[in-house]
Structure 1
Amino acid sequence: MNEQLHTFMVTVAIGAGLGILYDFYRVGKRAHRLRNLLTAAGDLLYWLVATAAVFFTLLYCNWGELRLYVFLGLASGAFLYFRFLSLYLVRGLIFIGRICRRILQYVTAIIYYFAIRPVFWIFNFVGYPFRLVHRGARRWRRSRRPPPSKS
């Protein structure tokens, strides 16, 4: 009986953990706007990870025995998570994603203005005499062309 209670509590935890993993996947899918094929691949990957997690946990806890209380534990863990914690985790993940996006925008702007733009300025400065020579050569070549014949 003690082993069954332990396995039930572990399956409740695994059910809640799979709910957390699903919320991470759901927020990531929404943030990256995955299309049909990538959504199907992501769903398949989620279910493969979920199946492996349940399988190895059950193998470790009770030698892989499937009983009714295992399914009840998984379902009740997922239900409790989605009922009481999912909303807060999703909001937190969206908030953290927005902060990360802003930080990435600032870092990208800093790299652009302090690393990439000066390189363009240097190339423009170094290349200016060559552009002047090229422009003058083009003008000289145009002026040296024979006039079109009137035939």
Structure 2
Amino acid sequence: MTLTVQFLSMLSMAAMGVWLGAALDTYHRFIGKKHSFDIQTAVADFCFWTVQALLVFYILYQVNFGEVRIFVFIALMLGFAAYQAMFKHVYNKILTGIIFFFKKLFAFLVYVIKTLLFNPVKWLLHICRRFAMMIVLTLWSLIFYLLWKPLYFVLSLLGVVKVAKKGQPIFGKIKGFCDRLMKKK
């Protein structure tokens, strides 16, 4: 390995140490630091560290064809320590701003979708309901005036309405109606 390749390896591993620090802070921000064991956290941790290890090895492979030496680990720790000392506070502020921005953007998109999609559909359904109620009331009025009023008129001519208005029990009303019909014959 030439001196240039060694220098590039150290520089890239120091940069990967900074990346690991930032990725770890981001991961903890979204997952949360848990002090108790559960299977979901264990699987998420395993996936996170597997992806990070593969990423570090990929960068190392691009720089020096994957030769792992002790200075690679020292450079990773140096980059991680540099991140913790110099960049962590600034990165966390930037991360907080980005998360805030995306929360507001998501809330805005939800508002726009609700305003442009759900409210018009809700309004159309309300109009359809009102229109259906208009049709039902119109049909009910037609049935009432075309069927019930003439039937009421015929029943009032036969005397059933007078009997019904007196408040007699229904069977007495029917019996009295039948008796009157028999007397008229």
User: Fold-level match, TM-score > 0.5?
Assistant: yes
Query: 68, 73, 76: which one pairs with 2:75?
Result: 73
TM-score by length of 2: 0.62
Q: Secondary structure at the match of 2:68?
A: coil
Question: RCO greater where, 1 or 2, for CA within 8 Å and sep 6 or more?
Answer: 1
Would the alpha carbon gap of residues 21 and 129 (structure 1) be closer, same or farther in structure 2, given more than 3 Å must change? same
What is the aligned residue count? 135
Query: 117, 120, 123: which one pairs with 1:121?
Result: 123
Partner in structure 2 of residue 98 of structure 1: 100
The answer to which of 51-60 and 35-44 deviates more is 35-44
Would the alpha carbon gap of residues 121 and 26 (structure 1) be closer, same or farther in structure 2, given more than 3 Å must change? same
Q: Which amino acid aligns with 1:90?
A: N
Distance in structure 2 (CA, Å) of the matches to 1:79 and 1:36: 29
Would the alpha carbon gap of residues 44 and 131 (structure 1) be closer, same or farther in structure 2, given more than 3 Å must change? farther
Distance in structure 1 (CA, Å) of the matches to 2:96 and 2:41: 19
Partner in structure 2 of residue 48 of structure 1: 50
How do 1:1-150 and structure 2 match up within 5 A? 2=3, 3-30=5-32, 36-131=38-133, 133=136
RMSD, aligned α-carbons = 2.8
In structure 1, the gaps of 5 or more residues are: 141-146
Would the alpha carbon gap of residues 119 and 49 (structure 1) be closer, same or farther in structure 2, given more than 3 Å must change? same
Partner in structure 2 of residue 144 of structure 1: none
Distance in structure 2 (CA, Å) of the matches to 1:41 and 1:95: 28
Distance in structure 2 (CA, Å) of the matches to 1:4 and 1:110: 54
The C-alpha deviation readout for 1:121-144, integer Å capped at 9, x for no partner, is: 11111122434638x97xx9xxxx
In structure 2, the gaps of 5 or more residues are: 145-168, 170-185
Structure 1 position 40, deviation (Å): 2.5
Q: Which amino acid aligns with 2:70?
A: L
The runs of at least 4 consecutive aligned structure 1 residues that moved more than 4 Å come to none
Distance in structure 1 (CA, Å) of the matches to 2:38 and 2:133: 50
TM-score by length of 1: 0.73
Distance in structure 1 (CA, Å) of the matches to 2:77 and 2:13: 9
Larger Rg: 2
Percent identity (aligned): 24
Would the alpha carbon gap of residues 58 and 114 (structure 1) be closer, same or farther in structure 2, given more than 3 Å must change? closer
Distance in structure 1 (CA, Å) of the matches to 2:124 and 2:96: 41
